[in-house]
Structure 1
Amino acid sequence: MKKPPIIWLNVFVFSITFLFAAIAVPYRAFTHGFDATEITAAIICFIYCGMSITAGYHRLWSHRTYQAHWSLRLIYALGGAFALQNSALHWSSDHRIHHKHVDKNHVDPYSAKMGFWHSHIGWMLRDHQPAKYNDYNNVRDLQKDAIVVWQHKHYLLLTILMNFGVPILFGLWHGDMINSLLLLGFLRLVLSHHTTFFINSLAHIWGKQTYTDKNTARDNGVLAFFTFGEGYHNYHHIFENDYRNGIRWWHFDPTKWLIKGCEHLKLTSKLRVTPEVKIEKARLSMILLRSQQKLAAHPDAEQLLERLQHEYDELIHKINEFYAVRKALIATKRDQLMADVENSEVMAQYQEIKRRLAEQQRSWQNMVEKLA
């Protein structure tokens, strides 16, 4: 097949910025040096760009996992222009296509099945889908957001103002224009680009399929550290409407913390969360699948598979029971005084079912460990 035409502007931008970051920045560091204020400013700008993409472009606009005050949306819009990753409208359109057609080559804009290079940056270097630049039917909801429309209309001007204006203003204030342009300009931009691009590439190659194997997305705590929480990508692809990517307290997900923190400031609202029972069932279904695959070649496979399925069915039954009673308990707490609830029949039932669930979880875990 004939290769799509090269987008020379993108090739030029990615090449020039990378060369400055890889050559000019180290050379300047050895010959002149960077002080703590400059390094701190570059880190702040990098975080601002990254969080504008993850909290704004991704979790707010692409997936509508929460609602945000106009002032926060404006901050995201400016940060997105600073990150130089196209307008929020276009970025969200691409990303919704990615989720709808994940891993389908030539439909998914950055299909991981077309290789690391394509999913990381190659998809932006050639005009693979020219029609998509004129079709935003899948983001009609975003076209009702005045800030999204304003940013899309003035995107080129905003990128110039942010990517040149911020480094120049800092350089004038701090007194070293070259250092500012290199750190806050080139290095910050390259880091913003490639850490985001890793979610399209590495996060579909490296890590665990914790909740689903229906697509290539992986959970990876290392990537989460460098991408503001986006590395828990397997979870995200099965539960894309959740404002969290890292759902455990120990998961590094600063984007989640930002969104939740802004809720206390009345800047975000209607945060969407996946029911815990759905998450647990998805996780257990993957453990069951892997265990079944391990048993396939076992001499007593039929007997062991039957026992494994029985343990799984029992566990799912008790999980359904547990969450149903917990839901009833929460409803009771809303209607009664706490003292009454603690002594109620619902609480006694809840404690008993919780005990039985714990026993079944231990039984399931013991069997899975024996098969490991």
Structure 2
Amino acid sequence: MKIRNGSLLSSLRAVGQRSLHNASKAVNSGKKVAGALSRSPLVQLINKQLNSSSPLPIPTSMKTVKDERQNTAELESESVGNSSEPLTAEEQLKQEQLAKELAFKRAPINWIPAAVLIATPIAAAVITPWYLATHEVSKPVWITFGAIAIWTGMSITTGYHRLMSHRTYKAHPAVRNFFLLGATLAVQGSAFDWCSGHRTHHRHVDDPMDDPYSAKRGFWFSHIGWMLKNYPSGNFDYKNIPDLTKDKVLQIQHKYYGLWVVATNVGLIGAIGWLIGDVWGTLLLAGLVRLVINHHFTFFINSLCHMFGTRPYTDTNTARDNFLLAIPTWGEGYHNYHHFFQYDYRNGVKWWQYDPTKWLIAALAKVGLASDLRTVDNMTIKHAEVNMMFKRAQKKIEKISDEQGLITDSNLPRSLQNFSDRVHFEYQLFNDTVKEWQALKAKAMQLKKNEFAERLHEADEALKDQYHMIEKRILKHNHNLKQAFKEISFKTA
């Protein structure tokens, strides 16, 4: 149906007038309501806050993510400072140290090692007394306990440590795999983990941030605490063991390490227990108790051997020689020597020092199962010892000088002066001897390069005589210093 234009306009005009009338009524009603609300005490309070310089706080639930990010950014900018200004090298180093320390504090728990290292000693302490009181343990079980304790302990020292970590000798594949199996039974990590961490320890020894088990962080951390959390210093960097990561056998051990641990500590130990007629006793003693003992004897090297003992070779790190700790650790207690001469297959370098690991490696070499045993020559060792003697002498002089006011012996100043003169005199002679020794070493290398094969033996014999003479002189310096120490100790006693 069609509608005329005039009728349509009239209709629209009428509708518009009615709408305006209704809107006017609504506005008037709104003004009345607003006026009533404005007189309300609550609205007056809100208006007062809005007009003031401190608006009402926004509830936390109403804050947006953008607000939170803005607040966080402001706090960070306040703590760091003006980021537009370049930081000095010292400031950058300080920030890096703070970041590392914060990472240490926030390190998450390393659940599997933590569970093993905490649960096993508790279980051993609770179960073993009860079992020994209620069960008779046969002699074969005790023999198995001792044999596996020796095997696993020396597999760590002879295998993981001196063979794989420091490459102080080469071993026949059968020997290498025998030690690898024993080290797996010891449950101290795969060869990759153990050796990588140990090489890092030697590279950053005593550094609280980079040494995985730095003694500078205290006994607890260096003994066991470093394994309970995922500390930044404990992150393994397999780039420092390229010689090991190429080994197919070690790759298998690392990949299936958990299975190997269960297979050896439960399967192998249980099978031996079944053969000797006491599965549970063997699992308890040769398994659990032996595991705890092996763990903490090894851990003592990282902790106690960096705290107690002597430093006859170097004082540049905290490592000590400790005869008592050498006994349960198969010779690893001579730790000061090891840290200074880490590529020597011997830790107890003196013939009388207890080092079964050294003796075992030497025995394997005798029967052709080990080769290329690396050693440090006696002159280098004596050089280090005498140098430390001079350091101790200087400290002795300084100590006595500081204490002179407390000592009444009138002859002390003269004795001290004589001691000081003697030390300086011996030190000068020692330096001259060392220079001769270094020149002789250079001469030996040059001769070996230039001389024909038939003359090498003759040259070596001549050099040996000269080496022997210099060694005697260094020993004499050592003896003279010891005598001087005895005399000054007697005077100050």
CA 1:362–1:81 in 2, change beyond 3 Å: closer, same or farther? closer
Write the letter of the residue equivalent to 1:152.
H
Deviation at 1:347, TM superposition (A): 9.0
Q: For the residues of structure 2 that align with 1:107 and 1:68, how far apart are their CA atoms?
A: 31
Match of 1:129 in 2: 232
| C-alpha displacement of 1:36 | 2.0
Structure 1 residues 352 and 164: alpha-carbon distance in aligned structure 2, compared to 1, 3 A threshold:
closer
Distance 1:352 1:251, change over 3 A: closer
Q: Which runs of 5+ in 2 are unaligned?
A: 1-101, 402-412, 449-453
Displacement of 1:22 after TM fit? 1.4
The alignment partner of 1:209 has SS state of coil
What's the CA shift for 1:258? 0.9
Equivalence map 1:68-107=2 (5 Å) = 68-107=171-210
RMSD over equivalenced CA pairs, Å: 2.7
In structure 2, how many angstroms separate the alpha carbons of the residues matched to 1:136 and 1:347?
42
CA distance 1:17–1:54, shift in 2 (3 Å): same
Deviation at 1:145, TM superposition (A): 2.3
Aligned to 1:5, what secondary structure does the other structure show?
A: coil
Aligned to 2:44: none
Look up the match of 2:355: 253
Judged with a 3 Å threshold, the aligned counterparts in structure 2 of structure 1 residues 362 and 123 are, in CA distance, closer, same or farther, namely: closer
Q: Secondary structure at the match of 1:121?
A: helix
Does the CA contact (< 8 Å) of 2:379 and 2:471 recur in 1? Answer: no
Q: Structure 1 residue 146: deviation in Å?
A: 2.5
Within a 5 Å distance, the mapping from 1:101-250 to structure 2 comes to: 101-129=204-232, 132-133=235-236, 135-250=237-352
TM-score normalised per structure 1 = 0.89
Question: Residue 312 of structure 1 contacts residue 364 of structure 1 at CA under 8 Å; is this kept in 2?
Answer: no
Q: How many Å separate the matches in 2 of 1:94 and 1:141? A: 15
- Give the C-alpha shift of residue 346 in structure 1: 8.2
- Once residues 377 and 316 of structure 2 are traced to their aligned partners in structure 1, the CA distance between those partners, rounded to angstroms, is 20
In our comparison, the structure showing a higher alpha carbon Rg is: 2
The structure 1 residue matched to 2:426, chosen from 298, 311, 316, is 311
**CA deviation map 1:203-241 (0-9, x unaligned):** 001111111111110000100000000000000001001
- Quote the offset at 1:154 in angstroms: 2.1
Shift of 1:27: 1.6
* Alignment equivalent of 2:365, drawn from 224, 248, 263: 263
**Contact 1:294–1:371, Cα closer than 8 Å, also in 2:** no
Taking a change above 3 Å as real, the CA distance of residues 351 and 194 of structure 1, as seen in their structure-2 partners, is: closer
Please say if 1:368 is aligned against 2:471: no
Taking the aligned partners of 2:471 and 2:200, their CA distance within structure 1 comes to 41
Q: 1:362 to 1:237 in 2, by over 3 A?
A: closer
Structure 1: how far apart are the matches of 2:242 and 2:328?
32
| Structure 1 residues 353 and 115, CA gap change in structure 2 (3 angstroms) | closer
1:283 is matched with which residue: 356, 364, 385?
385
Cα–Cα, structure 1 residues 51 and 354, in superposed 2: closer, same or farther, change >3 Å? closer
Q: Using the aligned pairs only, state the percent identity.
A: 42
How far is the alpha carbon of 1:350 from its aligned partner? 7.8
Residue 278 of structure 1 and its aligned partner are, at CA, apart by 1.1
1:78-99 Cα deviation digits (max 9, x unpaired):
1111000111111100001100
Change in 2 beyond 3 A, CA 1:130/1:200: closer
Per the alignment, in what secondary structure is the counterpart of residue 316 of structure 2?
Answer: coil
CA distance in 2, matches of 1:123, 1:81: 20
What is the total number of aligned residue pairs between the two structures? 361
2:352 alignment partner AA: W
* Partner of residue 119, structure 2: 16
Deviation, 1:285, is 1.2
Distance between the aligned counterparts of 1:359 and 1:10, measured in 2? 52
1:49–1:317 Cα change, 3 Å = same
Contact 1:277 1:319 in 2 (8 A): no
Is the deviation greater in 303-312 or in 40-49?
Answer: 303-312
Query: How far off is 1:131 after superposition?
Result: 7.9
Residue 209 of structure 2 contacts residue 233 of structure 2 at CA under 8 Å; is this kept in 1?
A: no
Q: What is the CA distance between 1:352 and its match in structure 2?
A: 6.9
Shift of 1:348: 8.2
Query: Normalization by structure 2: what TM-score?
Result: 0.68
How far apart are 1:259 and its partner, in Å? 0.7
Q: Structure 1 351/253 Cα, relative in aligned 2: closer, same or farther at 3 Å? A: closer
Match of 2:137 among 28, 34, 43: 34
SS in 2 for 1:226: coil
> Which 10-residue stretch deviates more, 268-277 or 296-305?
296-305
Residue identity matched to 2:428? D
From the superposition, tell whether residues 357 and 113 of structure 1 become closer, same or farther in structure 2 (CA, over 3 Å).
closer
Shift of 1:39: 1.0
Q: Does 1:53 align with 2:170?
A: no
Distance 2:128 2:161 in 1: 30
Letter in 2 for 1:19: I
Deviation at 1:161, TM superposition (A): 0.8
Structure 1 unaligned spans of 5+: none
What secondary structure sits across from 2:235 in the alignment?
helix
AA aligned opposite 2:257:
Y
- Corresponding residue number in structure 2 for 1:63: 166
- Asked whether the 8 Å contact 1:242–1:272 carries over to 2, the reply is yes
- 1:353 shift after superposition: 6.5
State the distance in 1 between where 2:370 and 2:234 align: 34
Please report how far the alpha carbon of residue 317 of structure 1 lies from its aligned counterpart in structure 2 after TM superposition: 3.9
Tell whether the 8 Å contact from 2:323 to 2:334 is kept in structure 1 after alignment.
Answer: yes
**Inter-partner Cα distance in structure 2 for 1:350 and 1:127:** 51
Q: Residues 350 and 73 from structure 1, CA distance in 2 versus in 1: closer, same or farther, beyond 3 angstroms? A: closer
